[in-house]
A and B are shown apart, each in its own frame.
Chain A
Amino acid sequence: MAENKASRGFFGTLKAHLPDIILILSLLVFSGLLILMFSLFRPLGDRVTVEVEGVTVATYSLSADGEYEIGEGNRLVIEGGEAYISWADCPDHICIRTGRISRVGETVICLPNKVAVTVRGEGGPDLVS
């Protein structure tokens, strides 16, 4: 197969190719900006919805403390206006390590168990139809 000069990668020649630097930098800047836009300054929500495989199975108010089982694999805790997963049977425990959510649009997701907990409220997530 043809191996053009550009395929050597810039560490190969120790000389950076300009288009590469431009591309990578702009990708980094772009995603960095997206992250800032999405994460800061969102309003506190008043409730959380629990979706399993896309079906909303429960909605809980954030103002009432409680502990709820989601199916057999996750346990949801509402405490002090925040929600978090306290126990799960998935291998990586990413859902637990996500920590507490309280702002509109924030989510805790457990992919293996197909669970999504989302904060809803005024000024809701921009992407919900």
Chain B
Amino acid sequence: MGKTKRLVTLALFTSVALMLSFIESRIPAFVAIPGVKMGLANIATVFALYRLGVRDAIYISTLRVALSSLLFGSVSSFIYAIVGASLSLLAMVMVKWLTPLSSVSVSCIGGVVHNIGQVLAALLILRTDVVLYYLPALLLSGTVAGAVIGVAGGLLIKRINPREI
């Protein structure tokens, strides 16, 4: 992929992820548990991981988190998001590399680790271990959300012509 094409592709992916993140931020919280969400923007992350490679996925994910918390978040939302997204990406890369699991499972594990990361961040920021009580519910929602996002990502991976992206 030529340099310019790559640059444009990365920018487009980041924008799409940002828009998904924005749309999701406008949906009122489903459940009375902080941190439960679908993680729509991760469709872009998963797709990038499988089509563009680890480094580009890291660029897109990190940039998206920074921009979205800059535009419609706060400093503390940035901290939670970056911790969750980094650990999640690390886990997904490891699972993809070390196991023959499909993109659905990779995304599933990404969702779970993302929530674990956010609980960890809350643990450090709030300095109270009481947040651990939310972990089981977050594990469940992370699994379900991750699986759904993984299916969506899998569909994209299958349908989009490898010669175009």
Interface residues of A, Cβ cutoff 8 Å to B: 1, 3-4, 6-12, 17, 19-20, 23-24, 27-28, 30-32, 34-35, 37-38, 51, 53-55, 92, 94, 97-99, 105-107, 109, 111-112, 114, 116, 118, 125, 127-129
Decide if the interface of chain B is mainly helix, strand, loop or mixed: helix
Report B141-161 CB contacts with A as 1/0, cut-off 8 Å: 001100100110111011000
Q: How many A-B residue pairs have CB under 8 A?
A: 145
Q: List 20 A-B contacts (CB under 8 A).
A: A6-B101, A6-B102, A7-B96, A8-B157, A9-B102, A9-B104, A9-B154, A9-B158, A20-B104, A23-B108, A24-B105, A31-B137, A34-B136, A38-B136, A53-B127, A54-B128, A109-B126, A109-B131, A116-B126, A125-B130
Q: Return the contact of B125 from the options A19, A27, A38, A114 (Cβ within 8 A).
A: A114
B153 CB, min distance to chain A CBs, angstroms:
7
Answer whether residue B51 sits at the interface, using C-beta atoms and an 8 A cutoff: yes
Answer whether residue B122 sits at the interface, using C-beta atoms and an 8 A cutoff: yes
**Assembly CA distance A92 to B158 (angstroms):** 37
Whether A94 contacts B34 in the complex (CB less than 8 A), given A10-B102, A105-B133, comes out as yes
B81 CB, min distance to chain A CBs, angstroms:
12
On whether the beta carbons of B139 and A8 are closer than 8 Å, the reply is: no
On whether the beta carbons of B53 and A1 are closer than 8 Å, the reply is: yes
Answer whether residue B2 sits at the interface, using C-beta atoms and an 8 A cutoff: no
Report B15-32 CB contacts with A as 1/0, cut-off 8 Å: 000000000000011001
Residues of B within 8 A of A54 (CB): 125-128
A3 CB, min distance to chain B CBs, angstroms:
6
**Assembly CA distance A32 to B139 (angstroms):** 9
On whether the beta carbons of B151 and A9 are closer than 8 Å, the reply is: yes
On whether the beta carbons of A7 and B139 are closer than 8 Å, the reply is: no
**Assembly CA distance A105 to B134 (angstroms):** 11
Residues of B within 8 A of A98 (CB): 32
Residues of A within 8 A of B136 (CB): 31, 34-35, 37-38
On whether the beta carbons of B133 and A32 are closer than 8 Å, the reply is: no
Report B92-106 CB contacts with A as 1/0, cut-off 8 Å: 000010011111110
Q: Which residue of A is nearest B100, CB measured?
A: A6
